[in-house]
Chains A and B, each alone.
Chain A
Amino acid sequence: MIKYILRRLMFLIPVVIAVTFVVFFIVSLSPGNIAAMIIGDGATKESIEQLTEEMGLNDPIIVQYGRYISKLVTGDMGKSYATGKDVSSEIASRFPNTLKLTILSIIISVGISIPIGVISATKQYSILDYVGMVLALIGISMPSFWFGLMLIIRFALKLGWFPSGGAEGWTSIILPAVTLGVASTASITRVARSSMLEVLPQDYIRTAKAKGVNKKDVIMTHALKNALIPTITIIGLEFGELLGGAILTETVFSWPGIGRLMVESINRKDIPMVLGTIIVFAVGFSIVNLIVDILYAYIDPRIKANYR
């Protein structure tokens, strides 16, 4: 097991490096002269040239990337074009907010979706099943940012139970977390249900029943554990979607996380900040995938066996 974890970790590092390169490369294709933007009005051709040279923007991409990555490993992501402050400290101060939001979201999601998925599967064709599935379908079809707006209208503006934005007080995280979690709840419910439906007719379930295992244990010990295997993969994928969704949700709720920071930076053409936020997101996603893979191996002994 340890060997497996170590091997996956080793695989993670080149992937992360490659990701940073890809992101860096794509972002560097941005049109527009950065030096010109920074200097602003009244920029002369000479001053633009000088600043460009100073910032090393005339060097080949690989060199620029090398510079960036070497600074990155020390935690230095450069300085914001907009504020001049350290990118890494900006991100570090906002990151916990995004983390709080996504973790709460995924907990709510998993907490709701797995029980509903299991019940839907075991009581297939019942009213509960149909209602559950319709709601799940609507959940994945609804734009999360619109849902957020609807929640704000009803629960913040009309009823006043929650603030309509910002991070003041513990109630402020509820609406954003629910908004963020809706799509993933719906998605995980569907997968949990379909995995259970695939597992329930399996022969080993029949064996368990023939042994006299009681109904509850058949579902929880035998069926659910097996059904969780594909479900966990989806939970990992959904986390990735959550990261994307966080960008939108933070915008809707003016939530002070790195998602909103990214959007603002893009609109301000603050390249170092954009780069920094995207990289943090991408690395975060890779780490989550790693955790999911490890969990997967932990649950399914057949995977572990391949890495003996």
Chain B
Amino acid sequence: MDDKILEIKNLHVHYKTEDGVAEALNGIDLSMKKGQTIGLVGETGAGKTTLGLSILNLIQRPAGRIVDGSIELAGIKIFEKTERELEKIRGSMVSMIFQDPMTALNPIITVGEQILEVIKIHQKLSHKDASEKAREMLEFVGIPRERFGEYPHQFSGGMKQRVVIAIALACEPQLLIADEPTTALDVTIQAQVLELMKELKEKMSMGMLMITHDLGIVAEICDEVAVIYAGRIVEQGRLVDIFKNAKHPYTEGLFNSIPNIEDRKEELIPIKGLMSDPYNLPKGCSFYDRCDYAMDICRDKKPDKLYFNDKHFAECHLYKGNKDFLLKYAQAED
């Protein structure tokens, strides 16, 4: 497994709060090869950010706990490392960028200094060389290097996010975890930032975990897609598998929730109900009470992973013994 940059096995993460124990992640398996881009798709509350934070082992303690499982980053067992060792890995081997650029930067330190900081921590460069590199990073993300000494409030949202990206990529990480990086931005800026990320990803042959709820972004930039629901990956496969041949009812529901630009009169078919309560997950399939295809067995037993090709699988009782079952809307396609 030499070219595996990320290997997550059976990850369980819980949060303990006043209201009880929230089971945020319930047995996540995920692996990524060098240079791959995997999209992690799901609604708010599905556990996407938790997954990203787990890879960096930045889950807020004492509330959050890694209850089971393991994560390996280029062979390094993350949960066995001390905090010191983890600090060396964060920002240099793996970087994470978050959703809201407006609050992601320290308001009282210049943007240049903030890029400089990550360089100085991880790389043995003289102050002069490090500053030069920081300025190069600014240009790399499309910001004039003269703006090194300006403060975050002097930048717009889109530019702030570029600074965030510059900080994340300054030390050429092998894996970038992008948690909804464009959600808070205007659509036109979204496109720019996305283009930037594509370019950089290719230039640096960096692996990327793109966490998003926007299928459009997934289509633009991802090789593989994992669909996460209630802390489990319920379907995963190559981009074409998921987009053309989705198997899980939830995935179908996600696609149906997107307005069809070709047929504007077509009715939207939302997924009824709300995400399962993480404090009180059901015994059987978590999607049971929202699923159009629900059967009795779904209520009582959790479905197994069923593979449709070497990469494409879904966790659903529909296909047990009936691999060729077609979902409603799948039938309408082709």
Contacts and interface: CB of A to CB of B under 8 A. Distances in A.
Contact of A214 (B84, B95, B106): B84
B107 A212 contact: no
A99 interface: no
B100 interface: yes
> Which of A210, A214, A221 has the most chain B CB within a 10 Å cutoff?
A210
Contact of A203 (B100, B117, B154): B100
Contacts of A209: 58, 90
B285 interface: no
Contacts of A158: none
Instruction: Report the interface size class on chain A.
Output: 20 to 34
A212 B108 contact: no
Interface in B85-137: 86-92, 95-96, 98, 100, 103-109, 117-118, 121-122
A305 B154 contact: yes
B104 A212 contact: no
A301 B90 contact: no
A302 B153 contact: yes
Across the A-B interface, give the 8 residue pairs with the lowest CB-CB distance, nearest first.
A212-B91, A212-B90, A211-B91, A203-B103, A204-B106, A211-B118, A210-B96, A301-B151
Interface residues of B, number: 31
Contact of B58 (A210, A214, A222): A210
B221 to A, nearest CB: 21
Contacts of A305: 151, 153-154
A204 B167 CA distance: 12
Contacts of A221: 109
Contact of A207 (B84, B87, B92, B164): B164
Given A204-B105, A208-B106, 5 more contacts: A207-B164, A210-B58, A212-B87, A215-B87, A229-B108
B13 interface: no
B167 A302 contact: no
A203 B83 CA distance: 20
A299 B151 CA distance: 12
A300 B117 CA distance: 19
B117 A211 contact: yes
A100 interface: no
B95 A210 contact: yes
5 contacts: A207-B105, A208-B106, A212-B121, A215-B87, A301-B108
Interface string A286-305: 00000000000001111001
B71 to A, nearest CB: 15
A204 B108 CA distance: 11
Contact of A204 (B84, B87, B104, B121): B104
Contact of B104 (A207, A229, A300, A302): A207
B56 interface: yes
A208 B121 CA distance: 11
Contacts of A208: 106
Given A214-B84, A302-B153, A222 B118 contact: no
Nearest to A204: B106
B56 A210 contact: yes
Contact of B107 (A211, A215, A302): A302
A202 interface: yes
Interface in A212-237: 212-215, 221-222, 225-226, 229
A226 B106 contact: yes
A8 interface: no
A53 to B, nearest CB: 62
Nearest to B113: A221
A229 to B, nearest CB: 8
> Which of A211, A213, A305 has the most chain B CB within a 10 Å cutoff?
A211
B177 to A, nearest CB: 9
B83 A215 contact: yes
A206 interface: yes
A210 B91 contact: yes
